[in-house]
């Protein structure tokens, strides 16, 4: 049986002995990096620098909440407001892979800047057992919390510290609760964030649209599930398509975008079935999305594709 108290005490002793300089960790807000950051901060205090990068493509309030949580848990956290920097790099990026690369490189560049600034000697990662078992054990060059979107530059000579590498997800959750971290059951969120939920070239204006639409989908489905109208899907969000059509809003014809709502049931994301959301709930989502952004969105559609043949995300 996993004993979180024993694990924490032993880890803190080990980390104190192991880390003799400054350390850095990328804090995405995910459970693993959050638990790793809090644990290491308990051992070495402010010599651990957490860096949260707000790419401009995060969900509504996400960066603020991540920062608040980590700081309340005693992590010395810097937030890099990098929306402009990411947006510049994403100019002209239409293909999903081009977007992922641009985001990955930008993320690494910012992270590298911080690491040099604080003269970091150690890189802390929230790697857990399934990460290295499934990937054959070679995660040396990967910033796991950003989901393999980029490799560390060769001249960034950091020693790797992975305090959770022998734990499984349920043990990490137990550990998190023991440390007093409020760990909500979060739905999966792709490393490149909302940028891949904007089909075509991402811009900050489009990010605002898809962020608001995602927020409405989340709020309405969570409400409907709490009222027993439906089961909460495994993952649920909105996608901004590049399709513009003529619509009528008020008395005015508007040439607006189409938002697609996506919600699926799944166990592990490998296969998925589209969620059978009641029509009244879909209608409420549609009305809220179109009302909240008059002139910008005049059509909302629902994706009824399973995986396969579709994927969960639209990219
Ligand atoms: P697809 O769209 O391929 O997605 O059916 C399967 C699951 O993976 C998530 N996803 C990602 N997760 N980094 C991640 O950690 C990523 O870059 C990434 N891209 C997709 C997706 O949200 C879904 O849960």
Q: Which residues pair with 260 in a beta bridge?
A: 239, 301
Residue nearest to atom 12 of ligand 1 (CA): 190
Q: 253-276: per-residue pLDDT in tens?
A: 889 999 999 999 999 899 999 999
- 187 CA closest ligand 1 atom index: 24
> Of 208, 209, 214, nearest to 83 (Cα)?
208
The mean pLDDT of 77-99, rounded to a whole number, is: 96
- The pLDDT value recorded for residue 157 is 82
CATH architecture for segment(s) 203-302: 2-Layer Sandwich (3.30)
Three-point CA angle 135, 44, 40, nearest 5°: 30
Check pocket membership of 181 for ligand 1, CB cut-off 6 A: no
Both tokens of residue 231?
């089961």
Answer whether CATH 3.30.499.10 is correct for domain 4-179. no
Check pocket membership of 235 for ligand 1, CB cut-off 6 A: yes
Domain boundaries, the chain: 4-179, 203-302
Query: How far, in Å, CA of 162 to CA of 46, rounded?
Result: 18
Computed over every residue of the chain, the mean pLDDT equals: 92
- The pLDDT value recorded for residue 134 is 62
Q: 229-253: per-residue pLDDT in tens?
A: 999 999 999 999 999 999 998 888 8
Check pocket membership of 190 for ligand 1, CB cut-off 6 A: yes
How many other CB atoms are found less than 10 A from the CB of residue 98? Answer: 13
- 310 CA closest ligand 1 atom index: 5
Check pocket membership of 312 for ligand 1, CB cut-off 6 A: yes
Check pocket membership of 307 for ligand 1, CB cut-off 6 A: yes
Confidence category of residue 136, pLDDT binned at 50, 70, 90: low
Write out the DSSP string of the chain.
---HHHHHHHHHHHHHHH--S-EEEE--S-HHHHHHHHHHHHHHGGGEEEEEEE-S-SPTTHHHHHHHHHHHTT-EEEEEE-HHHHHHHTTT--SHHHHHHHHHHHHHHHHHHHHHHTT--EEE----HHHHHHTTT--TTB-GGGTTS-BPPTT---EEE-TTTT--HHHHHHHHHHTT-----PPP--TTGGGGGBSSS--HHHHHHHHHHHHHHHHHHHHHHHTTSSPPPSEEEEEEEEEEEEEEETTEEEEEEEEEEEEEE-SSSSSBEE----HHHHHHHHHHHHHHSTTTEEEEEE----BTTS-SS--
- The pLDDT value recorded for residue 145 is 40
Both tokens of residue 47?
């010599």
How many other CB atoms are found less than 10 A from the CB of residue 222? Answer: 13
Check pocket membership of 96 for ligand 1, CB cut-off 6 A: no
> Of 230, 293, 291, 236, nearest to 264 (Cα)?
236
Q: What is the pTM of this model?
A: 0.90
* In contact, 164 and 121? CB cutoff 8 Å: no
Judge residue 259's burial from the number of C-beta atoms within 10 Å of its C-beta, 0-12 exposed, 13-18 middle, 19 or more buried. Answer: buried
Measured in Å, residue 313 CA sits from the centre of ligand 1 at 7
Query: How far, in Å, CA of 56 to CA of 292, rounded?
Result: 20
Query: How far, in Å, CA of 260 to CA of 127, rounded?
Result: 33
Measured in Å, residue 269 CA sits from the centre of ligand 1 at 7
Return all residues near 176 (Cβ < 8 A) that are at least 6 apart. Answer: 31, 34, 35, 38, 183
Check pocket membership of 269 for ligand 1, CB cut-off 6 A: yes
* In contact, 50 and 205? CB cutoff 8 Å: no
Q: How many residues does the chain have?
A: 315
Query: For 29, how many CA atoms within 13 A lie in the half-sphere containing its CB?
Result: 25
Q: 138-184: per-residue pLDDT in tens?
A: 434 444 444 433 455 666 689 999 999 999 999 999 999 999 998 77
Q: What are phi and psi of 81, to 5 degrees?
A: -85, 95
């Amino acid at each position: 049986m996993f004993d979180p108290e024993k694990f924490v005490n032993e880890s803190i002793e080990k980390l104190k002995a192991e880390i003799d300089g400054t350390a850095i960790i990328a804090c995405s807000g995910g459970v693993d990096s959050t638990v790793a950051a809090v644990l290491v901060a308990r051992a070495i205090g402010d010599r651990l620098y957490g860096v949260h990068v707000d790419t401009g493509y995060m969900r509504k309030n996400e960066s603020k909440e991540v920062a608040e949580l980590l700081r309340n848990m005693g992590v010395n956290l810097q937030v890099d407001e990098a929306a402009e920097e990411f947006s510049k790099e994403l100019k002209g990026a239409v293909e999903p892979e081009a977007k992922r690369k641009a985001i990955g490189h930008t993320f690494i560049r910012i992270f590298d800047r911080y690491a040099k600034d604080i003269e970091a000697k150690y890189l802390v990662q929230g790697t857990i057992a399934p990460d290295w078992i499934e990937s054959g054990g070679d995660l040396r060059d990967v910033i796991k919390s950003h989901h393999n979107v980029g490799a560390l530059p060769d001249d960034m000579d950091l020693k790797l510290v992975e305090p959770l590498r022998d734990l499984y997800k349920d043990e990490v959750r137990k550990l998190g609760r023991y440390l007093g971290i409020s760990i909500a059951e979060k739905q999966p969120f792709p490393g490149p964030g909302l940028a891949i939920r904007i089909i075509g070239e991402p811009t900050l204006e489009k990010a605002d649209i898809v962020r608001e639409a995602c927020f409405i989908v989340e709020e309405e489905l969570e409400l409907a599930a709490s009222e027993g109208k439906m089961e909460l899907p495994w993952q649920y969000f909105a996608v901004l398509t590049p399709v513009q059509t003529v619509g009528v809003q008020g008395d005015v014809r508007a040439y607006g975008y189409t938002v697609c709502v996506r919600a699926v049931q799944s166990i592990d994301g490998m296969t998925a079935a589209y969620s059978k959301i009641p029509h009244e709930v879909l209608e409420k989502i549609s009305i809220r999305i179109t009302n909240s952004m008059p002139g910008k969105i005049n059509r909302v559609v629902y994706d009824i594709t399973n995986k396969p043949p579709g994927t969960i995300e639209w990219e």
